[in-house]
Structure 1
Amino acid sequence: MLLTPETLLFVGNRIIRIVGILLGAMLTLRLFTLIVNQVFIPNVVGKALKFDEKRARTLSSLVQSIVRYMIYFVAIVMVLQEFKIDTTSIVAGAGIVGLALGVGAQSLIKDFITGFFIVLENQFAVGDYIVSGDMGGTVEEIGLRVTKLRDFNGVLHIIPHGAIVRVSNHTRGHMQATVNVPVAYGADIGKVLTLLEEACEHVSKNLAEVMIEGPKVVGVVDWRSQELVIRMVAKTVPLEQVKVETALRHQIKLLFDEANISPPNIQIIK
């Protein structure tokens, strides 16, 4: 079969339209990527929405993935139409498949939607220490479907976003260090308070880099059958409260030993 000029013109026009569709899809995707980067990522443009960089990049990737698949689908349908293929059944089939996925994979969809709002609302970010249910650890990765936590023992916990009902973030703002000191009723309360103030001053000087406020002696907070309880508190940078509490207890022990003040119900044998 010989190709007539009309056939060549028809085929040439069809090829040009297909190439135009593909180039249009690529340019649209590229343009959308630039817009998303300018909106979410501060490093890309001087004026951007006030997002944390890690959260912004995660959200940007999420939005771009969704739009990328939409553009691919539209481009494929348009190319098929150029070949005179009825795409009505394809679009309808996509709707049926989508409905089936919605019914059969509700947990998967819930994971995606919950993950989107976790990033959007900045509930936590990579590097934060969080507790969710009976699992806690430092966030190593926030994906579209799961969040990965590494606990103090090195165990990696993988939590589907749909299973995250409540989150406690230990990294936002300050943390409070609290030390309760039991003191016998027979002890000299004035002397004890003086020693506790000395312990506070010592820890404040030696751990100044992690201190925000204090430490300070609150005073007597409880009376028990054999002892009274004096509380000390301090505000620290995130995840450093245990370090401050340990230092306070260590210094209190040294000062109490020097002053011959024993814990309740313990007699020092001389």
Structure 2
Amino acid sequence: MLIGKLINSVIIIVLSYVLLKLIQYLLNKLFELTKFDERYENTLCSVLSSISYYIIFVVSLILVLREFNIVDATKFSTLVTGASIVGLIAGVAAQSILKDIFNGFFILFERQIQVGDFVVINEDFKGTIEEIGLRSTSLRDWDLKRITISNGTITSIRNYSKNKMRVVVHVRVSYEEDPMKVLDSLEEVCSVMNENYKDYFIKDSRGEITSKFKVYGVTDIEKNPIGAQYTMTGVVESCKYFSALRDTKLQILIIFKKNNVRIAYPTHINVVHYNEDRN
């Protein structure tokens, strides 16, 4: 009798696993036919897969418990016993689980993040969203490590994938440099970016760039004794942000070197004398 119950339980588990994989396969096929935004499709697929997992898990658990006569809707006593067990487990975990689910619901409802977005969560976890579930969110960082965060612990999100972003580049230059020469060099950097990297920019319906790179000016001469801070900005597509930031910094180095403009760096050196007694 016990062996038969174990075999039935294994069959239930296997069938549940197959059903879950079938649902995931059908969801992927379904979203291949839709015309939603790709990130939105991936997000919906991730959420629906998560919901399916929890439903199948609960149903499978009830069926397995029923095999061992722990839960049986036809018998009041076993139903009470099963309910007591479930109630005990739920009572211990309910607070954190409900917090995760409610927070996950609002994250999804408000579309704060989607699968494929590059985000910084809680000012600590940085990476690309791979999966969004009811209880947790998973992302992949620069080192390809998968990080899973409970939705209930998410307090802040910085999303780098919301259509457009402003590239802000600061550079410190020695006080001895002619300010007009520095500004002219930065204008040259802006011209290079605007001419050679047009695919980075936001464009209007006519295909014209809406906001090019420009020199913002001197933004600090007090906080740092080694040099004045100059700033340039430009608005680009969010998916091109890091490439634009990297290329802008590279062009600053190239053009400053060509124009003999010196970037500020500390020149104070501490010399420590070490006296060693010799016999």
TM-score range, shorter chain: 0.5 to 0.7
Partner of 1:191: 181
Matched, 1:209 2:207: no
Give deviations 1:74-122, integer Å, cap 9, x for gaps: xxxxxxxxxxx85544555555344323212233444344333333332
| Conservation of the 8 A alpha-carbon contact between 2:40 and 2:115 | no
Partner of 1:52: 40
The code of the aligned residue for 2:116 comes to G
Cα distance, 1:57–1:266 mapped onto 2, change above 3 Å: closer
Partner of 1:100: 88
| Conservation of the 8 A alpha-carbon contact between 1:55 and 1:122 | no
* RMSD (Å), alpha carbons: 3.8
| Conservation of the 8 A alpha-carbon contact between 2:190 and 2:214 | yes
What secondary structure is seen at the aligned counterpart in 1 of 2:213? strand
| Conservation of the 8 A alpha-carbon contact between 1:147 and 1:161 | yes
Cα distance, 1:266–1:58 mapped onto 2, change above 3 Å: closer
| Conservation of the 8 A alpha-carbon contact between 2:47 and 2:134 | no
Cα distance, 1:266–1:150 mapped onto 2, change above 3 Å: closer
What TM-score, normalized by structure 1, do the two folds share?
A: 0.64
Paired-residue identity, %: 27
What secondary structure is seen at the aligned counterpart in 2 of 1:236? strand
Q: Matched residue pairs, number?
A: 219
Partner of 1:142: 132
| Conservation of the 8 A alpha-carbon contact between 1:59 and 1:116 | no
Give deviations 1:198-229, integer Å, cap 9, x for gaps: 11010122221122332110011111434221
* Counterpart-to-counterpart distance in 2, 1:68 and 1:264: 62
Q: CA deviation at 1:159?
A: 1.8
Structure 1 segment 1-270 matched on structure 2, within 5 A: 52-61=40-49, 86-89=74-77, 92-93=80-81, 95-106=83-94, 107-133=96-122, 134-212=124-202, 213-224=211-222, 225-264=225-264
Cα distance, 1:233–1:145 mapped onto 2, change above 3 Å: same
The code of the aligned residue for 1:54 comes to N
| Conservation of the 8 A alpha-carbon contact between 2:99 and 2:152 | yes
Give deviations 1:208-261, integer Å, cap 9, x for gaps: 112233211001111143422110111222253332233223222322233222
* Counterpart-to-counterpart distance in 1, 2:157 and 2:117: 11
| Conservation of the 8 A alpha-carbon contact between 1:62 and 1:116 | no
Cα distance, 1:91–1:122 mapped onto 2, change above 3 Å: farther
What TM-score, normalized by structure 2, do the two folds share?
A: 0.62
Cα distance, 1:210–1:60 mapped onto 2, change above 3 Å: same
Cα distance, 1:56–1:155 mapped onto 2, change above 3 Å: closer
Cα distance, 1:182–1:223 mapped onto 2, change above 3 Å: same
What secondary structure is seen at the aligned counterpart in 1 of 2:219? strand
What secondary structure is seen at the aligned counterpart in 1 of 2:238? coil
The code of the aligned residue for 2:107 comes to I
The code of the aligned residue for 2:254 comes to L
Cα distance, 1:264–1:158 mapped onto 2, change above 3 Å: closer
Partner of 2:3: none
Q: Structure 1: any 5+ residue segments left out of the alignment?
A: 1-32, 74-84
